[in-house]
Amino acid sequence: MTTIKLHNTKSRSKEEFQPIDPQNVRMYVCGPTVYDRAHLGNARPVVVFDVLFRLLREVYGADHVTYARNFTDVDDKINARAAESGRTIAEITGETTQWFLDDMGALGALEPTHMPRATAYIPQMVTMIEGLIEKGHAYAAEGHVLFAVDSWKEGYGKLSGRSVDDMIAGARVEVAPYKKNPMDFVLWKPSTEDLPGWDSPWGRGRPGWHIECSAMSHDLLGESFDIHGGGNDLMFPHHENEIAQSCCANPQGDFAHYWLHNEMLQVEGKKMSKSLGNFFTVRDLLKQGIPGEVVRFVFLSTHYRKPMDWTEKKAAEAEKTLRKWYAQASQAKPGRKPEQSVLDVLADDINTHGVLAECHQYSHADDVVALRSSLELLGLMGDDVPDWARSPSVDLSAHEARLFAARQAAMESKDFSEVDRLKTAYMAAGLEVRMSKTAVELLPGAGFDAAKLEDL
């Protein structure tokens, strides 16, 4: 059997994956808060853990893997969106949940086994909170219930590798008179009449963020399960708090055995932000005509534990590569088992970049069977070639030859005006211009408009 090795954040080392029960391998991944479209950064953990889900299914069998990814549908951001839009919370969360599923489906992500919504698990959260109070790990104060960090000092901070004192010094903690310790975090908070609320032993209120995942994972996967994943921005405080409340509520279990965290995403070398004008959603890219398979390819080109840089250049190159690969892979039948060598590469801490390197080799050797099975394993190809890849791409060879000839002539005459004119026109059409001593290459970018080439 394929040996899977995963980098465990908890041990800070790569470990051989040994499931609790090979007949029921269990994974939980923190999902979105549904109040708006998913941006590109939201999509990275979806794609990363979708590939791991596919690998686990390949190794242990599709019927022996359970994957849960939640929807947070009770949150102050959702409340604020409802207040500013005049729409109901149910309308907003229902719409944005479907948006998320549609957009992630366009990226080739399989739907998890379970997709629990927080609002459907309020009774389980209340029961867990009651148990924490009984065990001395939580306390009620002014309509709130808080987890007492001091009650579990021996375990708190081990995931992120920081002591409680360091976290107090470095974190922006909410100061409140009802807290016994600045690091204590909310399990339950009161709701006014204009906010969502549920009856509880502490009055009408709603859950804190962290308790949601603990209650849902316990209900769906048990007191101990195999893998917990998410972006590394969730490591503290969210995952640290999950561990604390789960281990204290269920001391007979040990919660998640392996913790995996993906790195963050950049755009053209900079942090994605609205202020820089480089913030966009998955839907924005799809509307620009960038296929979901291209987005997925770019994601998989970088190891999940490294920062990923989204660029138009990478997207253009990915589309060009995929068109070539699909043309080859379409000659093979779907559903073939991947090469063991490919499985071994992917099993080495989800090495998607390594598998893409294997695909390049298969393409070069015209091994269409191995190429197709590898693309299927990565979720880059299904039973059929995508429609966009069937349509012919624009042949730019004549334009490349024209610019190359103009450059050659300019080298003799020292008059580069025609070269500059052509380059300006090609860039205005959305082409990236690459020139060397021996060749010219024109690569379509995200905003490429072939109609602008007609007058050249």
Q: How many domains does the chain have?
A: 3
152-170 as b/e: b if 16+ CB within 10 A: beeebbebbebebeebeee
The answer to whether the CB of 70 falls within 8 A of the CB of 118 is: yes
- Final residue before a domain boundary, out of 390, 409, 444: 390
- Final residue before a domain boundary, out of 262, 280, 306: 262
What tokens were used for 255?
A: 């919660």
| pLDDT recorded at residue 390 | 81
> Looking at the structure, do residues 86 and 204 belong to the same domain, yes or no?
yes
> Looking at the structure, do residues 329 and 426 belong to the same domain, yes or no?
no
Upstream peptide bond of 338 is cis (omega within 30 degrees of 0): no
| pLDDT recorded at residue 132 | 98
Residue 286 lies in a domain: no
> Looking at the structure, do residues 215 and 173 belong to the same domain, yes or no?
yes
Residue 279 lies in a domain: no
Q: How many CB atoms lie within 10 A of CB 181?
A: 15
Show the DSSP H helices in 86-185 as ranges: 89-106, 122-134, 164-170
> Looking at the structure, do residues 85 and 227 belong to the same domain, yes or no?
yes
> Looking at the structure, do residues 315 and 422 belong to the same domain, yes or no?
no
Contacts of 350 (CB under 8 A, 6+ apart): 6, 48, 51, 52, 55, 303, 304
What range defines the domain where residue 408 resides? Answer: 397-453
Residue 282 lies in a domain: no
* pLDDT tens for the 456 residues of the chain, in order: 899 999 999 999 999 999 999 999 999 999 999 999 999 999 999 999 999 999 999 999 999 999 999 999 999 999 999 999 999 999 999 999 999 999 999 999 999 999 999 999 999 999 999 999 999 999 999 999 999 999 998 899 999 887 766 666 555 556 788 899 989 999 999 999 989 999 999 999 999 999 999 999 999 999 999 999 999 999 999 999 999 999 999 999 999 999 999 999 999 999 888 888 888 999 999 999 999 999 999 999 999 999 999 999 999 999 999 999 999 999 999 999 999 999 999 999 999 999 999 999 999 999 999 999 999 999 999 999 998 888 666 778 899 999 999 999 999 999 999 999 999 999 998 888 888 888 888 877 656 777 888 878
* Rounded alpha-carbon distances, angstroms, from residue 301 to 352, 437, 455: 7, 28, 37
Helices and strands, number each (H, E), in the chain: 16, 15
| pLDDT recorded at residue 392 | 67
What tokens were used for 252?
A: 């007979």
> Looking at the structure, do residues 385 and 415 belong to the same domain, yes or no?
no
Residue 277 lies in a domain: no
**CATH code assigned at 79:** 3.40.50.620
> Looking at the structure, do residues 312 and 434 belong to the same domain, yes or no?
no
Residue 278 lies in a domain: no
Query: 98 exposed, middle or buried (CB, 10 Å; 0-12, 13-18, 19+)?
Result: exposed
> Looking at the structure, do residues 296 and 226 belong to the same domain, yes or no?
no
Residue 402 lies in a domain: yes
112-123 as b/e: b if 16+ CB within 10 A: bbbebbbbebbe
> Looking at the structure, do residues 376 and 411 belong to the same domain, yes or no?
no
Residue 280 lies in a domain: no
Residue 320 lies in a domain: yes
Q: Is the dihedral of CA 387, 389, 395, 399 positive or negative?
A: positive
Q: How far is CA 29 from the centre of its chain?
A: 10
For 134-254, list the strands marked E by DSSP: 138-141, 144-147, 185-190, 205-207, 224-231
> Looking at the structure, do residues 86 and 149 belong to the same domain, yes or no?
yes
The answer to whether the CB of 297 falls within 8 A of the CB of 314 is: no
> Looking at the structure, do residues 127 and 186 belong to the same domain, yes or no?
yes
> Looking at the structure, do residues 172 and 76 belong to the same domain, yes or no?
yes
The answer to whether the CB of 131 falls within 8 A of the CB of 247 is: no
Q: Strand 224-231 relative to strand 255-262: parallel, antiparallel, unpaired?
A: parallel
- Per the DSSP assignment, residues forming a β-bridge with 146 are 139, 186
